[in-house]
A and B are shown apart, each in its own frame.
Chain A
């Protein structure tokens, strides 16, 4: 029940008699419009009966308003006489002068002496104390709906004002009184009980034990409530973290390496010939600032140059190898670690991994991104086999619960070469996850002819795609839709 309805209902229940709207307005503090709204609501619920009657009302005319805001003209004339003494009658020419003269004369407030008017005793008295007619006009101006009360008390003044056309009395069909019904009485009693039940619990209620012996107001539990959102980690980050966790638990050391590097580390050191299509500007991001990055390892450069020239039968240029690019795979991180002399200090087999972004100069569409994540693993040892490679990769991916298979393929820096594929259930097909293999001897011999290196570089996003049915495509991950993330279901990877 609305506040105003409740106030009205309680008032009627307390008084026990029909009340007129004017009475209610006086004691309830509700304004006129709200009261009639509450009356109508309670009536429609059957809580009250409404008695109607013809109701008089007063309208104040323009002239009446003017006098209500100041004084009746005859009183104004009395003021002048009191202040200035007798006035020449001949000077009273305007129509207003005539009106004031007429009423002052009629009411016996003035007398004429030698062409001048003077105050009578009655007039002097009226000038000092005012007159009923003037007071009634002022009151009606404020409360025109009280016309019936005024008529009852000051009948002659009201009729005089009406005669003078300062007010017009009309009538309309209105509410004369409202009365509570038995149903309304019951409702008021129930509301009373409810009022004592506890709604919002606050500190005061708990601290003062005000709740003791009271009921708690029950809520409508089916109502829609304001939506709450959880601050979330990006699903891609979750996948990366999970992959790192698996590598960690499998005894791999994390390695990181630069993204901006000379082509040498992403191509030449990986046995990719300098005229290989993958090195084209159409596929790889070359930089204009910095445009080249020197490789300060003359011994390594010499060895790579020799290996390249022998295998590919084309010249090898240091300038091409030093062009600055964005790495195209994370294998460059592993290879750089491999070439760093420190790696051989560890006990073999050495297991390392990295997770990082790689870049391809692509036209971006839902299937193709210019940068995405790759995870790279290498195992350095003396006796390592293709069977060891398969096992190493399966150990990383088995905990993720995705289906993996191996097929032969070609990558310039590995031999044998392996394509790792992941089964993508929604499309019922195998997707390429990346490449793997045993690093070519031309590369590993530069470090030591005693070692063998297993390596793999696999996509991260596709794993997530295969694991999480809530992700429609790789593009969703990089759209960074706040709404998408807010509504994204959590998935255990």
Chain B
């Protein structure tokens, strides 16, 4: 979120130096991404939709610096400004709506800009691109009751900032918003619904796509109609609370709207709070510091809660605009943030447990040392690779037993490697100007499928690129390695397309093939653009060392 600092400080009613502002924001738990003379950009974490606008952010900052005393966000009027009926057809696609009317002295240009921006942000981020939540702002004076919300047939209206009448279906094809959000009104069978708010004069809003031009909100409008629609009752209720709180902060008076379903009627906004009572000692036990009940209340206020001491407990009342307070641990976090992570003294955990390493760590550690001793340098490649590198360039057919990626932003990365050697050859192809011999190895994971199960195993692969690289040398290395670790192995003829026929061998432990070595086929070297002879080996460590 990018905030204009001058406007932010006009809302907080105090000014901060840049260093102080950044420090406070960091302590509140957010990262400052950018800061220039006029604007500051803050990364708002997804749990705090209430901070996706400058008003909510100014409010939090005010509290955090103890400059706000107001903790009540209430709707005084019990008389609905409007009754809104919900039809049966919309149930299948977007069943829930909440709404209210905010009345003030005439909306300013800044307010209009930031409130529209807020509703967009809330719809895109918290609303998951309007799928689960979207909201609209209208000039209430232009609305002619009765108002109803339902899914309709393909009606016509003049969409916002268009000059001609359009059908809903045309909007989906021709209007930018229609194209962007058409997926939100298509059900899983591909059927498209047309949810809309309709008053006595026709379509007010094609939901959640675009409002009508007729009820457009402009600067100076005194009463503002807000509609919030979505797929979760809880979320549209809390979004109404959240949005109404912003209007309350701006000095507007909220009039409720009655939403009439077939079997029930609900008044919005509910401005609902949760009361959470926690023993003061439990808060301290969780954070690991002594705070004291009075200080806890003060810290609660700093975080926007109403709080009171009740015996040995503290009773917290959450502000209606907070959507992320589920239970006491969320409150405790806020107290910790209020206290300041910087002031929490690290405290050791008494423990007598002995550390231990997994067997595979000790095995691979030993093998790595042996490889280094043989003069091989360690490479570490991505586990992700391409079918081209893993199979095609190695002159192998694609088998089906490998882990395949469904969608990758990098088209070249479409599978998990099932052996290491192709990547070692690739590494060498990029270092051809380097002095020979080049000896490299990698000892890490490879992936395959067996009977529908994924096998995650360790392989050790070694590569020698040298003018004099030959079968005897690589055989000597493999034998040195295997005999050093005391494996009972045998060597038999092998027929892997990546190696020269008659100059390759398979390594067997018992009857199980656990690896191979040989002279790499010149065609493979050509495929990678490597121009020196090369020999290699690869051993399945997980299988070779089983038992």
Q: Which residues of A contact B (CB under 8 A)?
A: 227, 229, 231-234, 236-237, 241, 244, 247-256, 258-260, 275-277, 281-282, 285-291, 293, 311, 313-314, 326, 346-347, 349-351, 357, 359, 361-364, 369-371, 379, 381, 383-388, 390-392, 394-395, 405-410, 412, 415-419, 432, 438, 440-442, 477-483, 485-486
The answer for the CA separation of A244 and B380 in the assembled complex, in Å, is 17
Given A231-B377, A371-B384, A408 contacting B353 (CB threshold 8 A): no
List the B residue with the shortest CB-CB distance to A236: B380
Given A241-B365, A289-B402, A480 contacting B285 (CB threshold 8 A): no
List the A residue with the shortest CB-CB distance to B452: A290
Interface of A is mostly: mixed
B residues in contact with A415, CB < 8 Å: 329-330, 332-333
A residues in contact with B285, CB < 8 Å: 383, 385
Apart from A256-B358, A313-B232, A406-B342, what are 8 other A-B pairs with CB-CB below 8 Å? A234-B378, A287-B406, A369-B382, A381-B349, A407-B29, A417-B29, A482-B428, A483-B431
Residue B449 is within 8 A (CB to CB) of chain A in the complex: yes
The answer for the CA separation of A106 and B284 in the assembled complex, in Å, is 139
Question: Cβ of B410 and Cβ of A480 under 8 Å apart?
Answer: no
A residues in contact with B327, CB < 8 Å: 441
B residues in contact with A440, CB < 8 Å: 329
A–B complex contacts, Cβ < 8 Å, 16 sampled: A229-B435, A234-B380, A254-B356, A254-B357, A277-B128, A290-B403, A311-B326, A350-B353, A359-B384, A385-B287, A388-B346, A391-B348, A417-B333, A438-B286, A441-B327, A480-B381
The answer for the CA separation of A254 and B360 in the assembled complex, in Å, is 10
B residues in contact with A314, CB < 8 Å: 132, 231-232
Question: Cβ of A260 and Cβ of B416 under 8 Å apart?
Answer: yes
A residues in contact with B289, CB < 8 Å: 387
Residue B36 is within 8 A (CB to CB) of chain A in the complex: no
Question: Cβ of A244 and Cβ of B357 under 8 Å apart?
Answer: yes
B residues in contact with A286, CB < 8 Å: 405-407
Residue B234 is within 8 A (CB to CB) of chain A in the complex: yes
The answer for the CA separation of A362 and B353 in the assembled complex, in Å, is 39
Question: Cβ of A478 and Cβ of B381 under 8 Å apart?
Answer: yes
Residue B345 is within 8 A (CB to CB) of chain A in the complex: yes
The answer for the CA separation of A249 and B354 in the assembled complex, in Å, is 8
Question: Cβ of B337 and Cβ of A234 under 8 Å apart?
Answer: no
List the A residue with the shortest CB-CB distance to B439: A231
A residues in contact with B75, CB < 8 Å: none
Given A387-B346, A391-B348, A482-B377, A408 contacting B406 (CB threshold 8 A): no
B residues in contact with A416, CB < 8 Å: 287, 329, 332-333, 336-337
CB distance from B356 to the nearest CB of A (A): 5
Question: Cβ of B232 and Cβ of A248 under 8 Å apart?
Answer: no
The answer for the CA separation of A15 and B289 in the assembled complex, in Å, is 103
Question: Cβ of A384 and Cβ of B416 under 8 Å apart?
Answer: no
B residues in contact with A379, CB < 8 Å: 349
Question: Cβ of B360 and Cβ of A256 under 8 Å apart?
Answer: yes
| Segment among B7-15, B41-49, B77-85, B498-506 that sits at the interface with chain A | B41-49
| Segment among B140-148, B368-376, B481-489, B514-522 that sits at the interface with chain A | B368-376
Residue B341 is within 8 A (CB to CB) of chain A in the complex: yes
List the A residue with the shortest CB-CB distance to B445: A259
The answer for the CA separation of A383 and B402 in the assembled complex, in Å, is 45
CB distance from A140 to the nearest CB of B (A): 50
Of the candidates B47, B405, B439, B449, the one having the most CB atoms from chain A within 10 angstroms of its own CB is B405
The answer for the CA separation of A281 and B406 in the assembled complex, in Å, is 9
B residues in contact with A253, CB < 8 Å: 353, 355-356
The answer for the CA separation of A314 and B235 in the assembled complex, in Å, is 9
Set B233, B332, B372: member contacting A232, Cβ < 8 A: B372
B residues in contact with A417, CB < 8 Å: 29, 333
Question: Cβ of B384 and Cβ of A287 under 8 Å apart?
Answer: no
Residue B413 is within 8 A (CB to CB) of chain A in the complex: yes
Given A287-B405, A363-B409, A481-B430, A408 contacting B333 (CB threshold 8 A): yes
Question: Cβ of B233 and Cβ of A407 under 8 Å apart?
Answer: no
Question: Cβ of B368 and Cβ of A237 under 8 Å apart?
Answer: yes
Question: Cβ of B434 and Cβ of A482 under 8 Å apart?
Answer: yes
List the A residue with the shortest CB-CB distance to B360: A256
Residue B537 is within 8 A (CB to CB) of chain A in the complex: no
The 4 closest A-B pairs by CB, nearest first: A385-B288, A387-B288, A408-B29, A391-B346
Given A289-B403, A370-B410, A406 contacting B428 (CB threshold 8 A): no
B residues in contact with A350, CB < 8 Å: 353
List the A residue with the shortest CB-CB distance to B346: A391
CB distance from B318 to the nearest CB of A (A): 14
CB distance from A6 to the nearest CB of B (A): 34
CB distance from A332 to the nearest CB of B (A): 13
B residues in contact with A250, CB < 8 Å: 355
Question: Cβ of A237 and Cβ of B337 under 8 Å apart?
Answer: no
Residue B456 is within 8 A (CB to CB) of chain A in the complex: yes
The answer for the CA separation of A293 and B375 in the assembled complex, in Å, is 42
Question: Cβ of B403 and Cβ of A407 under 8 Å apart?
Answer: no
Set B231, B355, B383: member contacting A247, Cβ < 8 A: B355
Given A234-B379, A281-B406, A410 contacting B29 (CB threshold 8 A): yes
Given A349-B351, A351-B353, A408-B29, A485 contacting B377 (CB threshold 8 A): yes
A residues in contact with B428, CB < 8 Å: 482
Set B46, B346, B378, B434: member contacting A483, Cβ < 8 A: B434
The answer for the CA separation of A313 and B238 in the assembled complex, in Å, is 12
Residue B447 is within 8 A (CB to CB) of chain A in the complex: yes
The answer for the CA separation of A416 and B333 in the assembled complex, in Å, is 4
List the A residue with the shortest CB-CB distance to B287: A386
List the A residue with the shortest CB-CB distance to B233: A313
The answer for the CA separation of A290 and B404 in the assembled complex, in Å, is 7
The answer for the CA separation of A62 and B58 in the assembled complex, in Å, is 112
The answer for the CA separation of A388 and B344 in the assembled complex, in Å, is 10
The answer for the CA separation of A363 and B403 in the assembled complex, in Å, is 20
Given A386-B287, A408-B27, A392 contacting B349 (CB threshold 8 A): yes
Residue B454 is within 8 A (CB to CB) of chain A in the complex: yes
A residues in contact with B31, CB < 8 Å: 409, 419, 432
Residue B427 is within 8 A (CB to CB) of chain A in the complex: yes
Residue B189 is within 8 A (CB to CB) of chain A in the complex: no
A residues in contact with B131, CB < 8 Å: 275
CB distance from B448 to the nearest CB of A (A): 10
CB distance from A155 to the nearest CB of B (A): 62
Complex interface bits, B374-399 against A, C-beta within 8 A gives 1, otherwise 0: 11111111111000000000000000
B residues in contact with A388, CB < 8 Å: 288, 346-349
Residue B245 is within 8 A (CB to CB) of chain A in the complex: no
Residue B28 is within 8 A (CB to CB) of chain A in the complex: yes
The answer for the CA separation of A256 and B444 in the assembled complex, in Å, is 13
The answer for the CA separation of A285 and B381 in the assembled complex, in Å, is 18
A residues in contact with B402, CB < 8 Å: 289
A residues in contact with B128, CB < 8 Å: 275, 277
The answer for the CA separation of A116 and B232 in the assembled complex, in Å, is 139
A residues in contact with B336, CB < 8 Å: 386, 408, 416
CB distance from B210 to the nearest CB of A (A): 23
298-320 of chain B: CB within 8 A of chain A:
none
Residue B184 is within 8 A (CB to CB) of chain A in the complex: no
Residue B2 is within 8 A (CB to CB) of chain A in the complex: no
B residues in contact with A259, CB < 8 Å: 383, 416, 445, 447, 456
